[in-house]
């Protein structure tokens, strides 16, 4: 919560103890929790002098609390959703991610100034850092296609550009009557739009709750005539605004988003965004005289006024952190809403896969790929397949997502059956196979969103300071190596998919060591065997007598990050330790084509894809900065799961969990299974 004096004055004096008198506050645990974290004691009962009464906006049940406040002469605090709320409307059960508290009024009630109006009228709104955050916030919401509610679909086309947009709202919504309007204003608005735009198509956008059958709107099929279209499809609001030549609204939040998208909407009510010089107001509000920019409007309405909540870490948070969380939840919703049939998934992984990908519809597991594809077709689902098991010829009529562990995976090895905290899903290819384009490559080339470089820097700083990596196993510290130039040579599993797909002439650990010795004849070579190879679970061991003639030191189960930091350079085929070294400023030479090679950040001696360097027309591509790779690989590409809150989460939450290892260890059953797996490693082909 900002501590600015003007903001405190705008919100008003809100008592610590708040009493409520309707079931909504009792039912909604999230609502009470946010208020508690904001410093309030929220309770039922009889208030005392110095207490306050809280009600939900101007809801039909607010009159109970209003009466108590008047009778006992207590402050009345109105609570409302923030302008970024959830995926589904509250009527479908989703809890809010942010709230507005107001001891003066409520933002949609123009009969009296609200806390938000006071902010807009009096706050300087001239702090450069605040305005930069606001600019980035507008651009980020647009890029993420994020709105107050988010059940819309980005893949549904909007009408051909050049239409006039008329925004409907639900009948009886409090924001209509309290913005000085009524049902007649909607007829007036449509008639005005038609008369002022005699040659244009008119698109009436139905409210999301109307299309879901939850509440009726003011317009219906009978209004669609001549050049008027009633749009009920759940299209992207940002795409809809982009194609409009003009926007007409009474008091809808879409009018606010129209301003953010660059429109000057015609407004037939008196919503919070009217009267600041950013809209054409049919019914001006005389007391609003200040002229603002859209960035200032956003700064007050989205950054300063609300209280935002982080449901994974159960704390109040910034606007940006709330967007991070909603982005993670929204990605899961969009990718999983139709459900999936999962194939080629090991039994021990299925529980975590269900937790990550089965939030909308439970996964259907089918071992046989042909049967899985048939099931996906018959049910309208997508197809999930572990990337290494995906067939070369994938069905063209199905959306297939290839699944792999992410780059911040767990505290413990997959070989020990520790479930992952991150998984990547790729609809184009997979990051370790350079023979095909991957979604990760596209993310690197597209560059991070506004604010993404700063977020990547903060994430990288936390990762490096915490000595965190992909697996974070409990290992011995790095050994004390002799003085001199030291080169780390990380061993790999020789039948790993990244070796089979991403290497050239050098594809064994022995050949890697020989190449490293040839490149650095006078250096101290530090060889670090892969943990799975060292445990005897996977292929790639080098005979001790051969190893002794090439490596100066074998790091064994030493801490991989400490070993990286103790060395001066890294030579690798495709190991993720090359990426870890790159993040820590070490020069990296690649003999294969891992995902981090080919961007100008490494010395590449392997066959890296031309598409990472040149556009299809042959022109050189701009070289991404390291932080752009960090954002793509650690933020945008993976999906993260929080085992504490059991929610999709941003990577920052996973960094917290990796620092709390007791929260994320494998269960007793999986640990026993891992021990049996080690004892019977010779027969690994039966479970791998």
pLDDT value, residue 619 = 92
Has residue 677 got a pLDDT over 60?
A: no
What residue spans of 73-147 are helical by DSSP H? 115-122, 128-144
Over the chain, what is the mean pLDDT? 92
pTM check: above 0.95: no
Examine the domain organization and report whether 98 and 184 are in the same domain.
Answer: no
User: Is residue 383 a part of any domain in this protein?
Assistant: no
Binning pLDDT at 50, 70 and 90, where does residue 476 land?
low
Tell me the three state secondary structure of residue 591: coil
Binning pLDDT at 50, 70 and 90, where does residue 557 land?
confident
pLDDT value, residue 415 = 63
Q: Which residues pair with 424 in a beta bridge?
A: 404, 638
Binning pLDDT at 50, 70 and 90, where does residue 303 land?
very high
Examine the domain organization and report whether 560 and 610 are in the same domain.
Answer: yes
Q: Which residues pair with 570 in a beta bridge?
A: 488, 588
C-alpha to C-alpha distance for 66 and 72, rounded to whole angstroms: 10
Q: Give exposure, 353-383, as e/b (b: 16+ Cβ within 10 Å).
A: bebbbbbeeebbbbeebeebbebbeeeebbb
Examine the domain organization and report whether 530 and 629 are in the same domain.
Answer: yes
Binning pLDDT at 50, 70 and 90, where does residue 684 land?
very low
Tell me the three state secondary structure of residue 465: helix
Binning pLDDT at 50, 70 and 90, where does residue 472 land?
confident
Examine the domain organization and report whether 207 and 241 are in the same domain.
Answer: yes
Asked if 274 and 288 count as a contact pair (C-beta separation under 8 A), the reply is yes
pLDDT tens readout for residues 25-46: 999 999 999 999 999 999 999 9
Examine the domain organization and report whether 102 and 198 are in the same domain.
Answer: no
User: Cβ of 136: how many Cβ atoms within 10 Å?
Assistant: 18
- For every residue of 276-291, DSSP letters joined together read SSSSEESS--TT----
C-alpha to C-alpha distance for 576 and 595, rounded to whole angstroms: 9
C-alpha to C-alpha distance for 401 and 344, rounded to whole angstroms: 12
User: Is residue 576 a part of any domain in this protein?
Assistant: yes
pLDDT value, residue 273 = 98
Contacts of 214 (CB under 8 A, 6+ apart): 89, 91, 92
Binning pLDDT at 50, 70 and 90, where does residue 5 land?
low
User: Is residue 238 a part of any domain in this protein?
Assistant: yes
pLDDT value, residue 412 = 73
User: Is residue 177 a part of any domain in this protein?
Assistant: yes
Examine the domain organization and report whether 30 and 79 are in the same domain.
Answer: yes
Examine the domain organization and report whether 224 and 262 are in the same domain.
Answer: yes
Asked if 340 and 647 count as a contact pair (C-beta separation under 8 A), the reply is no
pLDDT tens readout for residues 153-209: 999 999 999 999 999 999 999 999 999 999 999 999 999 999 999 999 999 999 999
pLDDT tens readout for residues 651-670: 999 999 998 864 455 555 54
pLDDT tens readout for residues 45-65: 999 999 999 999 999 999 999
pLDDT value, residue 8 = 58
pLDDT value, residue 580 = 97
Pairing of strands 315-317, 307-310: antiparallel
Asked if 212 and 177 count as a contact pair (C-beta separation under 8 A), the reply is no
Q: Which has the closest alpha carbon to 654: 663, 33, 578?
A: 663
pLDDT value, residue 339 = 97
Single residue among 238, 271, 304 that ends a domain in this structure = 271
Examine the domain organization and report whether 36 and 149 are in the same domain.
Answer: no
**Domain containing residue 31:** 5-122
Angle at alpha carbon of residue 577, lines to 573 and 583, rounded to 5°:
120
Examine the domain organization and report whether 621 and 501 are in the same domain.
Answer: yes
Q: Give exposure, 185-208, as e/b (b: 16+ Cβ within 10 Å).
A: bbeebbebbbeebeebbbbbbbbb
pLDDT value, residue 672 = 58
User: Is residue 407 a part of any domain in this protein?
Assistant: no
Examine the domain organization and report whether 149 and 100 are in the same domain.
Answer: no
pLDDT tens readout for residues 87-133: 999 989 999 999 999 999 999 999 999 999 999 999 999 999 999 99
- Edge-to-edge strand ranges of the sheet holding 638-642: 364-365, 340-343, 382-386, 400-405, 422-426, 638-642, 647-649
Has residue 398 got a pLDDT over 70?
A: yes
Asked if 24 and 59 count as a contact pair (C-beta separation under 8 A), the reply is yes
Examine the domain organization and report whether 162 and 108 are in the same domain.
Answer: no
Let me know how long the chain is: 688
User: Is residue 536 a part of any domain in this protein?
Assistant: yes
Single residue among 205, 239, 271 that ends a domain in this structure = 271
User: Is residue 399 a part of any domain in this protein?
Assistant: no
pLDDT value, residue 277 = 98
pLDDT value, residue 682 = 36
Single residue among 209, 237, 271 that ends a domain in this structure = 271
pLDDT value, residue 11 = 55
Has residue 416 got a pLDDT over 70?
A: no
Contacts of 498 (CB under 8 A, 6+ apart): 432, 492, 574, 592, 594
User: Is residue 606 a part of any domain in this protein?
Assistant: yes
Tell me the three state secondary structure of residue 352: helix
pLDDT tens readout for residues 627-658: 999 999 999 999 999 999 999 999 999 999 99
pLDDT value, residue 21 = 94
Binning pLDDT at 50, 70 and 90, where does residue 257 land?
very high
Binning pLDDT at 50, 70 and 90, where does residue 378 land?
very high
Has residue 685 got a pLDDT over 60?
A: no
Q: How many domains does the chain have?
A: 3
Instruction: List the CATH number of the domain containing 99.
Output: 3.40.50
C-alpha to C-alpha distance for 536 and 540, rounded to whole angstroms: 9
Has residue 9 got a pLDDT over 90?
A: no
Examine the domain organization and report whether 578 and 486 are in the same domain.
Answer: yes
């Amino acid at each position: 919560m900002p501590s600015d004096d003007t903001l405190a004055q705008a919100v008003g004096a809100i008592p610590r103890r708040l009493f409520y008198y309707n079931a909504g506050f009792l039912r909604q645990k999230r609502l009470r929790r946010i208020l508690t974290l904001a410093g309030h004691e929220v309770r039922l009962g009889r208030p005392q002098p110095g207490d306050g009464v809280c009600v939900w906006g101007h809801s039909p049940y607010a009159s109970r609390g209003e009466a108590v406040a008047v009778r006992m002469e207590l402050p009345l605090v109105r609570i409302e959703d923030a302008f970024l709320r959830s995926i589904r409307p509250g009527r479908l059960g989703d809890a809010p991610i942010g709230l507005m508290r107001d001891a003066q009024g409520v933002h949609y009630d123009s009969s009296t100034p609200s806390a938000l109006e006071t902010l807009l009228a009096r706050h300087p709104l001239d702090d450069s850092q605040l305005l930069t955050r606001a600019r980035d916030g507008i651009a980020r919401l647009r890029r993420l296609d994020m709105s107050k509610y988010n059940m819309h679909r980005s893949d549904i086309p909007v009408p051909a550009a050049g239409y006039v947009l008329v925004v409907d709202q639900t009948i009886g919504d409090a924001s209509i009557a309290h913005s000085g309007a009524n049902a007649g204003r909607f007829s007036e608005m449509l008639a005005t739009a038609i008369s002022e735009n005699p040659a244009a198509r008119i698109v009436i956008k139905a409210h999301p709750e109307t299309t879901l059958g939850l509440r009726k709107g003011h317009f219906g099929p009978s209004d669609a005539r001549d050049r008027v279209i009633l749009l009920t499809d759940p299209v992207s609001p940002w795409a809809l605004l982009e194609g409009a030549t003009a926007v007409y609204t009474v008091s809808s939040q879409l009018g606010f988003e129209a301003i953010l998208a660059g429109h000057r909407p015609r407004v037939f009510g008196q919503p919070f965004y009217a009267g600041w010089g950013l809209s054409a107001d049919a019914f001006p509000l005389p007391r609003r005289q200040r002229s603002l920019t859209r960035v200032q409007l956003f700064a007050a309405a989205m950054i300063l006024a609300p209280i935002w909540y982080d449901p994974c870490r159960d704390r109040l948070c910034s606007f940006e952190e709330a967007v991070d969380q909603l982005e993670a939840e929204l990605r899961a919703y969009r990718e999983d809403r139709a459900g999936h049939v999962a194939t080629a998934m090991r039994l021990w992984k299925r529980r975590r896969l269900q937790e990550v990908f089965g939030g909308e519809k439970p996964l259907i597991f089918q071992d046989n790929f042909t049967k899985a594809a048939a099931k996906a077709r018959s049910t309208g689902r997508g197809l999930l397949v572990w990337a290494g098991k995906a067939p070369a010829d994938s069905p063209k009529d199905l959306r297939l997502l290839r699944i792999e562990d992410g780059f911040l995976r767990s505290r413990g090895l997959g070989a020990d059956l520790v479930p992952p905290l991150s998984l990547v899903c790729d609809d184009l290819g997979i990051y370790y196979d350079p023979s095909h384009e991957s979604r990760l490559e596209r993310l690197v080339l597209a560059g991070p969103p506004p604010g993404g470089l700063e977020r990547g820097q903060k994430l990288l700083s936390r990762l490096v300071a915490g000595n965190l990596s992909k697996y974070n196993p409990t290992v011995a510290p790095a050994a004390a190596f002799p003085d001199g130039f030291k080169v780390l040579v990380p061993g790999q599993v020789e039948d790993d998919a990244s070796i089979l797909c991403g290497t050239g002439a050098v594809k064994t650990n022995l050949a890697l060591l020989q190449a490293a010795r040839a490149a650095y004849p006078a250096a101290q070579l530090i060889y670090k065997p892969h943990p799975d190879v060292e445990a005897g679970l996977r292929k790639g061991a080098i005979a001790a007598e051969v190893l002794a003639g090439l490596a100066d030191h074998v790091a064994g189960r030493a801490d991989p990050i400490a070993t990286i930091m103790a060395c001066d350079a890294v030579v690798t085929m495709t190991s993720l330790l090359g990426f870890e070294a790159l993040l820590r400023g070490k020069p990296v030479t690649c003999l294969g084509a891992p995902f981090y090679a080919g961007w100008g950040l490494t010395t590449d001696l392997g066959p890296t894809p031309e598409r990472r360097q040149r556009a299809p027309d042959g022109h050189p591509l701009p070289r991404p900065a390291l932080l752009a790779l960090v954002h793509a690989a650690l933020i945008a590409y993976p999906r993260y799961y929080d085992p504490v809150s059991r929610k999709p989460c941003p990577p920052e939450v996973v960094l917290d969990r990796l620092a709390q290892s007791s929260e994320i260890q494998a269960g007793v059953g999986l640990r026993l299974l891992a021990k049996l797996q080690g004892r019977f490693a010779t027969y690994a082909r039966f479970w791998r």
